[in-house]
Amino acid sequence: MKRQPLLLSAAAALLCAAGLWWLLAPDNEQSPSSAASGSSVPTLAGAAAAPVSNAITAASTPADATAAIYLGSDIFLTADLRARLEEMIFEASGDNEMADPALLKKRLAELVPRYFSAALAARATALIERYVDYRVALSAIKPPTDPGDPRALRAALETRQSMREKHFAPEEYAALFAEEARLDRYTLARMEIEKNPGLTTAQKQAALKDNESELSVEQRTERSQAVAHIGVATQTAALDAANASDTDRYAQRQAQYGDAAALQLAGLDRENRDWQARLGEYAIAQAQKAPPEQLKQLRGRLFTEQEQLRVDAALVLRGQAQPTPR
């Protein structure tokens, strides 16, 4: 029986935790030709330090300050507005490249009645057109050469902020980006604090605690959950490195997270081993230069259609990828 792989590896979890939220944003603000996710994830290694005094306030903007004024007072500017715009873009472009912004705008205009009431249609049409223009402009920004450098990330954030303020009114910005901007400032501040050589360990801990005030209650809850996932992933990586037995893995997890979590993680271990075994069988066939038709049949036997979308990337991680038969 084919099973879903354990998709979140320890390394991936740790990298995601280190990243700025905008680099991992839900819409992955790419060109309008791509509504699918995918982005580079920064690391914390080897970056220059920045003064902690500017950690939180430097990224704040007048647009941020207007967020509370507008949200909730306009039936159009709802918390899910950005998600709806992204859903529309995905529906309009689908799996195909949408290289022509004008054609994308035309298709989006046709979708407006399905997503907005007649009373809001004109506003929605105007906003989605500017949103497409914003994404086109954003796609031209080059990511930082060193995404672990807080100064480079701050510069990128400021460039993106300028684009947002250019394309959207303050009340639109509040609905579309205010919450994400808060997370960005928080995450960047953490990087700047952690990389500041002028702070002692105790000072860093105090500064990090103060930085928590940048988050809303909901965001603090989300962060706590993310940290919990990172803890599990870190422990799993250590168990893998030690080649721990199933009994040892269960005992350590049970002691730290309880019976239910230990049982669930044991199940994920089994699924991951099954996934890796199937990847290994397919990689061996590739290495032995099996005929393309045979590889295609083996791929269909070993993996579900959904899994086949991930096979090549998984093999790259294993260092065994070869051209996929077409």
Every domain of the chain and the residues it spans:
19-214, 244-318
Task: Give this prediction's pTM.
Answer: 0.51
pLDDT tens figures, 65-89? 444 444 556 889 988 899 999 889 8
- Tokens 């080897």, located at residue: 46
Percent share of the chain, pLDDT over 90: 31
pLDDT tens figures, 43-68? 222 222 222 333 333 334 444 444 44
Q: How many angstroms separate the CA atoms of 76 and 84, rounded?
A: 11
End-to-end CA, the chain:
25
CB 95 within 8 A of CB 193: no
| Cα pseudo-dihedral 55, 58, 61, 67, rounded to 10 | 10
How does the average pLDDT of the chain come out, rounded? 74
